[in-house]
Structure 1
Amino acid sequence: MKRRKQLLVILSLSLVLVAAGCGSKQTGGQSQAGDAVSASNSSAVSTAGVKLKIETSFYPMYEFTRHVAGDLAEVHNLVPAGAEPHDWEPTPKDIAEITDADVLVYNGAGMEGWIDQVTSSATGGHLNLIEASKGLDIMDGFVEEEEGESGEEEAGQDQDHSGLDPHVWLSPALAIKEVQNIEQGLSQADPADADTFKANADAYIAELQTLDQQFKDSLKDPKRTDFITQHAAFGYLAREYGLTQVPIAGLSPDQEPSAAKMAEIVQFAKEHQVKTIFFETLVSSNVAETIAKEIGAKSDVLNPLEGLTDEELAQNQNYISVMKQNLTALQKALNE
C-alpha cells in the first residue's frame, strides 16, 4: 500500500513540475555543502519587499519556522490540523504549493517519507531545503517486526523511518538546535534579512531555554524514571532528562503491538507498579487503555506534538504550552 502511495506521489509530482515549467522568480548563488540549506537545491532569494513563501512539513516545523521568520514570510503547514503526519503523503495540490515555494522546512531523520521524491524532482534550483535535524545525534528507533499468520516476519513489511527515531523536537534542548538550523537556513535563503531572523530566533530560543530548565528542575529526582508510552516518540526527551521510555508500539503511532509485546508491557507494568499508561491525541487510545485496565492503572495524555487538533488550536495551544502539559503529566506519573 505504501509503495502504491509513493508511485502516486511521484506521478503527481511529475505532472505538477511539467505544468510549472522551469521558470522561477528567484535568482542567486547556492549555499555551501554542510549548511542547514541543501546545497543541491538552494538559492538566495531577492525579496525586495516580497515576503518569503515557506512550506513546512508538519506542526513543530511550522511552529519553529513562524517564530524565526516573523513578519518576513508567509508560512504554510502542509499537514492539516488533526492529521497524523507519519503516513501523510502530499496531494497534487500540496506538491504544487511546494514547487511554488521559496523554502521548504522539514524535520528529516526519516520523518517525512515523501521528502526524497519531492527534493529529487525540484531541479529548478529555486527551492531552498532546510533540514531542521541536520547535524543532530539521531538515535536508532524502536521498531517491532510485524508477524504473519505463521508467526514469522511478514515479507516486505516497511520499517518505520528506516529504523531511525525522528522525534528530536520532543527534547527542548534539541528543539533549540532545530530552531538554530532553521534560522541559519532562512538567513542563507534571504541574506538581506539575516539579522532579523537571528533576533527572532534568539528571542524564541530564550523561551525554549526556560522550558528546558523547567524540565531539568522538575525531573531531577523522581521516585521512578521509567514511563510507558503508546508509541516510541519520547526517546530523546528520556535521554536528555535521565528517564527510560517503555513504548507499547514502535515509531509509528498506528502500529499495532503483537500479543507478545502486549503481554510483555503488562508484565513490566505489574512488576514496576506502574500507575499511569500514556496515550496521545491524534490516534486511538484503545491499546493504552486496555493495558491500563488490565493492571488497574489510569491513562493520561503525553502529547508527541506531531500535530495539534482544531480544539487545541482554538485554545491557542502551542509547542511550549503543550510541552509544559507534558512535563506536568510526566512529573505526576513519575512520583506516584
Structure 2
Amino acid sequence: MPPSRPRRRPLAPRVVLRSALVVPAALAVGTVLALGACGAGPSGGDPAHSPIVTSFYPIEFATEQIAGPGRDVTVLTKPGAEPHDLEIGAQDLARMTRAGLVVYANGFQPAVDEAIQQIDEARVLDISGPADLTLEPSEDGHDDESAADHADHGTADPHFWLDPVRYAAVAKAIGARLAADDPAHAAAYAANTDAFVARLTELDTEFRTGLQQCTDRQLVTSHAAFGYLAARYGLTQHSISGISPDAEPSAAALKQIGDLVRRDGVTTIYQETLVEPQFAETVARSTGATLATLDPIEGVTKSSAGSDYFEIMRSNLKALEKGQGCR
C-alpha cells in the first residue's frame, strides 16, 4: 500500500477565504458593486494609473517588470500559498472588478477562471494563448498508468514560466496589451518588455549551456511541473504525482517510478517547495537516490532560494547541473 496522503507543510498565511462564488451570482455581483463604490473605477480614469490585478507570482512578476514602478500591480495569490488552491473572496472579486486590467492564465486556477466570468472581458488578458500550453500530462515520459492522477489527464500543463522562451512570449503579450491600453506610454512599455525579454534570453542561454552535456537525461520530480523546462533542454520528465501537487500516486505508480530509477541509474529525485516531500522521500529511500530541490516558482517566500524569478531559476539550474551529472 502507498504511504498515507501527505499533509502540506505549514506555509505563510494562505488565501483561505470563503469564496464569494459559492453564493448566488446576483448576491455576489451586488456585493462587488457595493464594495466597488468605495474605490475609483477603471472607466474614465488615466490608464497609466489604473490598478492591474494578476493571478499568481510569475504573471505578477512579468507585469511589474513591464509596467514599471508607476503602476499599481497586485496579485491574488499570497506568498507561500499554493496557487492551485486559491479561493476568491468578495474583497478579491471587488479588486478585480475595479482593476483597469486583470491578467491571468485560463485553466490554472479554477477559482480565478470562475471569477473572470464576472469581469468585463474588455479588461481581461488571458495569457494562456501566447504561453502555448500544448504539453499534456501524458507527455511527462510515462506511457502507461503513470503517477499522474487520472483527473489530470487531458489538462494541459500550465507551468509555462519554467521555460524562459514561453515566458518571454507571455511578456511580449503583456507589453503589447499595456501599450494598447495606454498608448501615451507605449514606448516605455516596449523598452521594459525588451529589457525583460533580454534577461530571459540570457537565462535561456545559461540553461542550454549548463544542461547541454548531462549524463542523466531522466528528470524525476515530485509533480508534473517541469515538463516545458525538460522539453526545452532535452530532458524527459517523470513525475511522482500529476499536474496538481495534491494528486496522490498509487502503489503501482510508485513502483513504476522506482523501477525506472533503478533501471536507468537515476541518481537524484527532486522534491519541491510548497509540497510535502513524503513521496519523493519514499522513492529516494527505496532506490538509494539522493534528494534535491527544484522550485516551481509559483510564489516566493523567505525559504525560496532567491528573491525573484531569475535568482530562483538559476538556483534550479545549479541543482539540475549537479543532479543530472552535467558538465
Task: State whether TM-score is above 0.5.
Answer: yes
User: 1:279 is paired with a residue of what secondary structure?
Assistant: strand
TM-score by length of 2: 0.83
- What residue in structure 2 maps to residue 255 of structure 1? 247
**Counterpart selection for 2:265 from 254, 257, 273:** 273
- What residue in structure 2 maps to residue 229 of structure 1? 221
User: 1:130 is paired with a residue of what secondary structure?
Assistant: strand
**Counterpart selection for 1:8 from 18, 22, 27:** 22
Contact kept, 8 Å, 1:86 with 1:112, in 2: the verdict is: yes
Q: Is the aligned partner of 1:142 residue 2:157?
A: no
- What residue in structure 1 maps to residue 46 of structure 2? 46
Q: Report the AA paired with residue 92 of structure 2.
A: D
Cα distance per residue 1:72-128 (max 9 Å; x no partner)? 3111111011000012121111111111111111123x11212332222224x6x62
Q: Report the AA paired with residue 70 of structure 2.
A: L
Q: Residues 259 and 158 (structure 1 numbering): CA distance in 2 closer, same or farther, change over 3 Å?
A: closer
Q: Report the AA paired with residue 53 of structure 1.
A: P
Q: Is the aligned partner of 1:186 residue 2:178?
A: yes
User: 1:277 is paired with a residue of what secondary structure?
Assistant: strand
Contact kept, 8 Å, 2:134 with 2:156, in 1: the verdict is: yes
Offset at residue 71 of structure 1 (A): 2.1
User: 1:228 is paired with a residue of what secondary structure?
Assistant: strand
Q: Report the AA paired with residue 324 of structure 2.
A: L
Q: CA RMSD in A?
A: 2.6
Contact kept, 8 Å, 1:107 with 1:132, in 2: the verdict is: yes
User: 1:73 is paired with a residue of what secondary structure?
Assistant: coil
User: 1:134 is paired with a residue of what secondary structure?
Assistant: helix
**Counterpart selection for 1:328 from 305, 318, 326:** 318
Matches for 1:14-33 after TM superposition, within 5 Å:
14-19=29-34, 24-27=41-44
- What residue in structure 2 maps to residue 78 of structure 1? 76
Identity %: 36
**Counterpart selection for 1:163 from 145, 150, 155:** 155
Contact kept, 8 Å, 2:216 with 2:266, in 1: the verdict is: no
Q: Is the aligned partner of 1:96 residue 2:110?
A: no
Q: Is the aligned partner of 1:120 residue 2:97?
A: no
- What residue in structure 1 maps to residue 146 of structure 2? none
Aligned equivalents of 2:192, 2:115: Cα separation in 1 = 29
Contact kept, 8 Å, 1:224 with 1:335, in 2: the verdict is: yes
TM-score by length of 1: 0.81
Aligned equivalents of 1:297, 1:79: Cα separation in 2 = 34
Offset at residue 6 of structure 1 (A): 8.6
Contact kept, 8 Å, 1:227 with 1:246, in 2: the verdict is: yes
User: 1:249 is paired with a residue of what secondary structure?
Assistant: coil
Aligned equivalents of 2:83, 2:183: Cα separation in 1 = 31
Runs of 4+ that moved beyond 6 A: none
Consecutive unaligned residues in structure 1, runs of 5 or more:
28-44, 145-156
User: 2:102 is paired with a residue of what secondary structure?
Assistant: strand
Consecutive unaligned residues in structure 2, runs of 5 or more:
1-17, 140-148
- What residue in structure 1 maps to residue 8 of structure 2? none
Cα distance per residue 1:186-217 (max 9 Å; x no partner)? 11221211111111111111111110000111
**Number of aligned pairs?**
297
